[in-house]
Structure formats: structure tokens, C-alpha cells
Structure 1
Amino acid sequence: MNSDSESLQSQYLGWLLTDDVKNTDQSVECEENDGVKNLHNEATASKSSEPKLGGTPQTFQLGEIPTVLDRFQTVLKNRLQIQAQDHPPLFPWETQLTEYPDFVDEPSMTLVPSWGWMVQQSKLTLPTRLPERVFQQLLEQCQALVTSSVPLGAKLVQVVENFFPNESQALNDIAGLVLRSTYRSVSTLETMPAIQSDYSDLQPRQQMALSLLAAKQLLENLTLPLSATSPVVEREWLTSVGALNIRVEYQSLGKLTKLLVQAELPVKGSLTLRGSGTLAMTTSSTSGYLNVELGCEQLNPTYTLEVEFPEIDEQPLLFVINPTI
């Protein structure tokens, strides 16, 4: 038998006789036929420089190599099958083996609620649409800062600064332009030309301007100002299940002042009205009108209104009410 044949045979036998393969239940036992019983012993002896005294060297014909290959493939296949049974593969989002139902009767009710407030983007006047990821983060930041007492320009910069690190000066400059252009003409945003490019294709300064415009409109949507000349304010917020309509009214009855909130809900939910140390909450099990009110001898500087729809979102939508009476 030539040296090449012996080398190839030894290589496959080395793979075949690893510890992992020998320890599997499905591996082929050494007592099987076809002359494989003594294969391991002979292969081990062939590596030693001192052959057994009186022993006859074991030789193989070239025609036997395919048999070894077939045997190697069979054992390898069995090994992989056992490993797959003992350790099934997981999806990228799984950390352990999970059983899933064959079907879901009511997917909208049983699955994890999504960010149902994001539909409001369709009501914003923007030259191009923001990616959902960007809009969601903007809305989250606006929710976190809507009650802040800092000036609107600084608040806008704080909302978008995480998108543009180390660009505070440029953000301040563009935020000033956004505020001034809106002040000069209330129809500025309505007459703004559309941008054909996607958000990701815009230049950084264009992305800054677009993000600041969106943040300003979101903060305006989430702020409900009241005054002596305008004691009533209304808002509409689109959700994934329909429109939420809110009406806030300031009422004065002698020395007692009262803040009344009326909401038309597209789905069952709750309203929570908070003042300085005071709270009023009401819940509805169906869609329709829901009222909540809070009375006090003197109006507080700010109130907050939380609207919660558990069916569409895990997080409530937060409005701030600013009376200036």
C-alpha cells in the first residue's frame, strides 16, 4: 500500500475516532463487521515506531478507502443529528428554547403593544417623512421634555441633540431659524416645498432642520395653553386605532376654579389629570366620551394630562396644560 493511501486513511480514521464521536450513542460500535473491529488498534500501532513482536502488519487495498469515507460520513451525520436534538437551534431574538402556539385568536390583543402614537406623524407638516425609528425617538424625547420650563429654542435642541452629537452650535443656529421663520408667518410650514429625497439621503444640516421642525410641531401638539381670552383649547391626536380628541376648559365659579377635560376615545382607556399635589383619574371600558375634572382655589402653573390606551401602547401619552389666567 503506498504512502498517500495510508496518509488519507489515517486522516479519516483520526476524525472518526475523536472523543466526541466515540461518546455519542449513535456512533458505530467496533464490533461491527467489514474488518473495522481492529481498525483503531492497528492505526494506533502504525503510529508507533515499535511494532508488536510477532504481529502481522495490517494492510488495506485502495478499494477499501470509499468504505472508510462512507463510514465517516454516517458517523458524522449521526453526531450532528444528536447535537441538533439535544441543543436545537434558536432564533436570533431567543435566549432559550421557547414553545410558540400554533395560532393566535386575537393578535392585536395578545401581542406586545406597539408604539401606537406614531400615526400622528401624518398630521405634521414636513417636507419629507421621517423614518419611524427617528420619529419614535423624537416623540419619546418630546414626552420627556414637554413639562420642562426651559425656553422653546433650548428645548428643541435638547430633543434632537442625541441625533447629532458635537453639533450644538449648528443645532442652535438652525433652531433659531426654525423659531423665527414660524414667527414671521404662520403659513411658512404649510407652504414649504416637498423634498423628494429620503431622510437618510439628506445632508446633516437638512436632517437637523427637519428634526427640529418635527420636534417643534410635536411639542406644540402636546402643549395645551389656556388664557382668559381663550379658556378652551382642543387637540386631535391620531393613533393606530383612530383619532383621540381632547377638549380642555377653564371654568371659574366664584373663588373656585375648575379644570375640565373631555376626551373622545377611539378605544377603551383612562385619563389622569395632575396638578400640584392633586390628582383626578377616570377609566372607560369602551370607546366614547370620558370626562375628568380638577378643582382648586387657584390655578397651578402647570397641569399634566396622561392618556392611556393599553391595547395600542404600553406608554401613556403625556400632555401639559399651561394656564396663563
Structure 2
Amino acid sequence: MNSDSESLQHQLLALALASDVEAGLHPSAECEEIDGVENPLFETTTSTSGDFESEGIPQTFQLGEIPTVQERFQALIKRRLQVQIQNHPPLFPWETQLRDYPDYVDSPSVALVPAYGWMAQQSKLNIPVSLPDKVFRQLLEKCQAMLLSSLPLGAKLVQVVESLFPNDAQALNDLAGMVLRSPYRSVDAPERMPIQESDYSDLGERQQMALSLLVAKQLLENLTLPISDSNPVVERQWLTSAGAINLKVEYQSQGRVTKLCVMGTVPTAGILTLQGNGTQAKAMSSSSGCVSVELYGQPLNQTYTLEVEFPELEQQSLLFVIPPMM
């Protein structure tokens, strides 16, 4: 028998002796089973002499059979831990006492809706790398605020993105010019950028700037519905976490009678509000389906806004702008 085996045997026997001493403090438990498993450690230390004789040890606990001893000992420890966990279950970090949680949510249609319903539109954008939700939401909110600005598109892009990169205005201006000259000018273009496997966090700062500017440009395009006499109809789709919004804006003119009409299909109960030139019209839908709103007697050279609200989906409304096409 080598020295390593002898050392391991001594360690196991020491543990067995310690367990036997503990059992001696509780005589009533000496011959009890531990969750259906007999206590072999007690049996291995019942010899009256100071020597441990092989005939006093069960066959499965012969000192030369170290793997069997290890397996039995590990099984005993596992059983004891299981009993302890069952009697004293662990708590979550935020808990101070045991609590029972329901197996289901009472109102799943409300509780399981994502916190920002407009986020799904990112999958429609022609970009090589997806943005983190927080960055995308910030860009969308900034784009909403810039929709009615009279600034040129390049300046709008810089103002939308500059809060993400406040210390490098010159680089943003240079990259904004490159994005404006990019061949990917339309989100509806059939040619799409190849999707890369890298994450936004893996990109360099200038790459993050360029990607953010590209996203801002496409968001502004998505939210702008220009019309003219030669192009009186424009359509747009916006994805939400509940489904797609399909919008059709049409300017109709018959003699002196003019009408600006917005027809849409919505994935859930919603409200469309069309306003401009001091007038407003509103239409409501109590469920998914078609909804339309109209303004009569409106000139074509005015800018109008369309506000989409889904109270069950998102607290913030989504704003579209309908400018006259230049």
C-alpha cells in the first residue's frame, strides 16, 4: 500500500471517528438511518481495542478498497446536505423570509409586454450590427424631438447622436457627411448590408458613431411621410412588440375640395391623431384592425403630424411627420 493511499485512509478514519464522537453526544441517534441510509461510520469505530481489525469492518469498507469508501462517504454527505436544504431552504438576496410565488401571471397580456413597445422596429433597419436597447431607445427619442426641426438632415443627425459622444463633435460632423453620402439611403432599398456577428460593444468609437448616425438617419426616414401633387400617396410600416402598424397617407383633391386621409391597420387598441394648420382629427380603435382619420380643406403646402398611441402597449406615443415634398 503506498503512502497516498495510507494518508487517505487515515483522513477517512479521522472523519469517521469525529462522526462517532458526535453520535455519542446524541445516543438516541446512534443506530438511526440518515434519510434511509444506515450510518456506516458508526459501525467502523465500534471495536473495543485500540486497533482497527479488518474482521470488525464491513466488507464494503475494507481499507484497501478506497474508491468504495469514498463513494459511500460522498453519498452520506450528499444526503445530509439535501436534508439540510429541505429543512432550511436558501433565500434570494432580496428576501428576508420564505415566500410563495404564483406559477402564473394573473394578467399576462399586460405584465409580459416589453417596457418599450416601439423597439421591434430595429429589425427593419438596414444596419450591419444591432444596437443595445438603451442606445436605440435614446436615438428614437431624439429623432422624435427633431422631426419638426427646420435644420438640414446632416445637422439633425449630429444633434440626435451627440449626446452619446459628447466629446468629439468634429468626428461626428465628418462621419455625418459620410453617412449622407452612403449608398444605403433608403430603409426600403432591396440591397441590404450584410449582418455581422460582432456586438456594438466590440466596435471602436468611430464605428459606433457611424452606426448610430446610420440608425438615426433611417429612423428619421421611417418617421417622415412626405407627400406632393405628383406623389399624393405614401405608405409606411412600423414594427411593434404586438405586431406591425401599416400606414397609408393620401392627399385627395377634387375641385376645391381637398382631404388629407390616413388609413392604418393596428395590432392592438389604439388612437390616431392627425393635426396641422390649426386643426385636429382623432380616431380610435378598440381592438386590432383598420382605423382611419381625415382632415378636410387642408392645403398641401403645410406640415402635418400623425400621433400613434397604444395605451396597452406603450406609455409614450409615436410621432410621424407629414411634410410637403420639396
Which residue does the alignment assign to 1:280? 281
Percentage of identical aligned residues:
63
Give the SS at the match of 2:182.
Answer: helix
CA contact (8 A) 1:273 1:294 kept: yes
Aligned position for 1:260:
261
- Name 1:245's counterpart in structure 2: 246
Conservation of the 8 A alpha-carbon contact between 1:113 and 1:310: no
- C-alpha contact 1:124 1:217 (8 A) present in aligned 2: yes
Deviation at 1:104, TM superposition (A): 3.5
> TM-score scaled to structure 2, two decimals?
0.65
Tell me the TM-score normalised to structure 1 length. Answer: 0.65
Higher relative contact order (CA 8 A, sep 6+): 1
What are the Cα deviations for residues 143-202 of structure 1, in whole angstroms up to 9, with x where unaligned? 111121110000011110000012111001000001012388999993534433211111
Aligned to 1:214: 215
Q: Measured at CA, do residues 149 and 100 of structure 1 come closer, stay the same or move farther in structure 2, by a change above 3 Å?
A: farther
Residue aligning to 1:130: 131
**CA-CA distance at 1:90 after TM superposition:** 9.7
Q: What does residue range 1-325 of structure 1 map to in structure 2 within 5 Å? A: 91=94, 102=102, 104-109=105-110, 114-182=115-183, 190-324=191-325
Q: Distance in 2 between matches of 1:234 and 1:219?
A: 15
Where 1:197 maps in the other structure, the secondary structure is coil
Q: Which amino acid aligns with 2:148?
A: T
- Once residues 287 and 114 of structure 1 are traced to their aligned partners in structure 2, the CA distance between those partners, rounded to angstroms, is 20
In structure 1, stretches of 5+ residues that fail to align are 1-88, 93-98
CA separation of 1:244 and 1:100: change in aligned 2, threshold 3 A? farther
Residue 218 of structure 1 aligns with an amino acid whose one-letter code is L
Give the unaligned 5+ runs of structure 2. 1-91
Q: State the alpha-carbon separation in 1 of the partners of residues 151 and 275 from structure 2.
A: 20
CA contact (8 A) 1:126 1:189 kept: no
Q: 1:242 to 1:168 in 2, by over 3 A?
A: same
Paired residue secondary structure (1:170): helix
Are 2:162 and 2:172, in contact at CA under 8 Å, matched by a contact in 1?
yes
Secondary structure of 1:263 counterpart: strand
Q: Distance in 1 between matches of 2:150 and 2:100?
A: 48
> 1:100 & 1:313 partners in 2: Cα distance?
30
User: Structure 1 residue 296: deviation in Å?
Assistant: 2.2
Summarize the Cα distance change of 1:170–1:277 in structure 2 as closer, same or farther, 3 Å threshold: same
Structure 2 SS opposite 1:323 = coil
RMSD in angstroms over aligned alpha carbons? 2.7
User: Partners in 2 of 1:191 and 1:111 — Cα distance?
Assistant: 32
In the aligned structure 2, how far is the partner of 1:295 from the partner of 1:311? 30
Deviation at 1:229, TM superposition (A): 1.6
Alpha-carbon distance between aligned partners in 2 of 1:121 and 1:305, rounded to the nearest angstrom: 20
